[in-house]
Amino acid sequence: MMKKVEKKNNMMGKVYNILFYNGDGIVPTYYVIDSVDGIAIKDGNKNKLINIVQKVREIFHLGDDFPDNRIYESLFILEENGIIPVETFHNTC
């Protein structure tokens, strides 16, 4: 007897690159900052996002005067069909 398998959210079980958009440079650029499991994105893993924000702060030498929410608003998830703002999955960092 065959079991019917439900199709789950297409983000689960995949690994996605997290991009940081730096529009303040001479040439606006997306940088790959980290990789995240699709389940972590869907479940709203706040700790992972806090770590990514900190990583961006360190890579780009951003001081405390540069607000976390501005970094957060510049984070995107790279999918096969394009990019999605991290904000789509999370209300706040």
Q: How confident is the model at residue 2 (pLDDT cuts 50, 70, 90)?
A: very low
Task: Compute the average pLDDT of residues 82-86.
Answer: 89
Evaluate whether residue 9 is within a structural domain. no
User: Taking the model in full, what pTM does it have?
Assistant: 0.74
Nearest to 55 by CA among 85, 32, 39, 82: 32
Evaluate whether residue 3 is within a structural domain. no
Evaluate whether residue 1 is within a structural domain. no
Domain that holds residue 26: 15-88
Evaluate whether residue 6 is within a structural domain. no
Evaluate whether residue 59 is within a structural domain. yes
Nearest to 11 by CA among 86, 91, 92: 86
Please list, in sequence order, all residues whose beta carbon lies within 8 angstroms of the beta carbon of residue 29, skipping any fewer than 6 positions away.
Answer: 21, 22
Quote the number of domains for the chain: 1
The per-residue pLDDT for 1 is 43
Evaluate whether residue 42 is within a structural domain. yes
Q: What is the pLDDT of residues 6-58, one digit of tens each?
A: 334 455 578 889 999 998 889 999 999 998 877 666 665 677 888 899 999 99
